[in-house]
Amino acid sequence: MIIRIVKMTFKPELVPVFLKIFEESADKIRAFPGCLRLELLENANNPAVLFTYSYWNGAGDLEAYRHSELFNSTWAKTKV
């Protein structure tokens, strides 16, 4: 099993924008082959710092996701 942790820091006013993106994408990511679990966590001291934890069957599944259209389109919206 592979656990992927992504730390993201947002301008406070953009957190709701990201939360909407996450809400729209989370079920699709969870349904991606090899994804076992996906969580969104908030830093207790700074709500503008968020983490995604995703659990994958193995490195191949994670790499397939990272090279997918789902990943590219979700990440493109998030990076803005």
Residue 12 in tokens = 């406070």
Q: Tens-of-pLDDT digits for all 80 residues of the chain?
A: 999 999 999 999 999 999 999 999 999 999 999 999 999 999 999 999 999 999 999 999 999 999 999 999 887 888 77
Q: What is the pLDDT of residue 78?
A: 81
Reported pTM: 0.88
